[in-house]
A and B are shown apart, each in its own frame.
Chain A
Amino acid sequence: MNTRNIATYVGGILFGFGLAYSGMTKQEIVLNFLRFDDLGLMFVMGGAAVVTFLAINVVPKFMAQPLLGGLFKPRISVLTRNTLLGALIFGVGWGISGQCPGSAVASLGMGNWPVIIGLAFMFIGAYLRGMLVKG
């Protein structure tokens, strides 16, 4: 097992713990947010983004490269029609089910078995997206 995989596993434990702590792994809490019954969820994405902003923008001023090798490179992507069309479709699915990819995966750790169905359909959706690409 290489160290990079161990690093992502350990970071993933924090990620999943935070998702569960914040309630994101409970689809009802996400749906309450989208219906404006409880706006607390803004602070989840906000809190995570602010901490990550420091890691991406400040830490590289003090370190030449990541501790285990590799490169520091911000996550910048080109805006296309697919970016927005995909986000629109994702948002509708999020509003129907209260599931997003990370929270659905993590919620298995709470014993939330019906989300196995949701995850199976996420794989089908990702496969259909691949079918649209030639080859």
Chain B
Amino acid sequence: MFPLGIEPYLVGGVIIGLGVSLIYVLTGLHATQSSFFTTTLSWFSKRVHFQEERNVKERDWRLMLALGCITGALIYTLTLSPTGFWVTGVDLWRLALGGLLVGFGTRLSNGCTSGHGISGLASLSTTSLYAVLTFMGAGIITAHLLELVGVV
């Protein structure tokens, strides 16, 4: 069940939680991820949905959050990482199709693994609990079905 042990997972999760908590204690903002797509599109699209006040107001700090995440992963890669720079072997069609569904779905659901899974659950939101159970179930079933048809 745990071929790599649980240490990297638990420690990594706690570090993620410390980042989210630091931002909350300093600013009261919930450092969630998928809204970044919508707020960033507010620079490029005049559509009412993207020009909603909260999207325009949040686009600066959400971009900074994303840049911080890239910086943090880079620091890990240059210091503790046993593998250094790393490139996925997952097929490009899967990254593209999966990405399309991830972008559409997280925005329709108003949350992702971090919005519902971390900040929502930490807020004891039942809405987020149902969302987490739904995307976990869908992800598990999809990955198993793909394995059945030989896509691994």
Contacts and interface: CB of A to CB of B under 8 A. Distances in A.
Interface of A: 4-28, 31, 34-57, 59, 63, 65-79, 82-115, 117-131, 133-135
A38 B4 contact: yes
Contact of B139 (A34, A82, A125, A135): A34
A83 B26 contact: no
B54 interface: no
B119 to A, nearest CB: 4
A73 B99 contact: no
A100 B101 CA distance: 10
Contacts of B96: 117-118, 120-121
A44 B12 contact: yes
A83 B130 contact: yes
Contacts of B113: 45, 94, 100-103
B88 A45 contact: no
Which of A51, A65, A131 has most B Cβ within 10 Å?
A51
Interface residues of B, number: 122
Nearest to A17: B72
Contact of A71 (B16, B28, B103, B106): B28
Given A82-B108, A105-B36, A125-B105, A11 B31 contact: yes
SS class, residues of chain B in contact with chain A:
helix
Contacts of B127: 76-79, 83
B120 A26 contact: no
B14 A40 contact: no
A114 B87 contact: yes
B104 to A, nearest CB: 4
Interface in B58-75: 60-62, 64-75
A4 B137 CA distance: 36
B114 A101 contact: yes
A91 B135 contact: yes
A46 B46 CA distance: 38
Given A27-B88, A31-B90, A79-B127, A68 B72 contact: no
21 contacts: A15-B69, A15-B72, A19-B72, A52-B21, A53-B121, A70-B28, A74-B124, A75-B120, A76-B127, A79-B127, A83-B127, A90-B105, A99-B95, A102-B112, A105-B66, A105-B69, A111-B85, A113-B87, A121-B100, A123-B103, A129-B103
Contacts of B87: 111-114
Which of B13, B21, B27, B87 has most A Cβ within 10 Å?
B13
Given A111-B87, A112-B87, A125-B105, A95 B139 contact: yes
Given A102-B112, A114-B87, A130-B47, A34 B99 contact: no
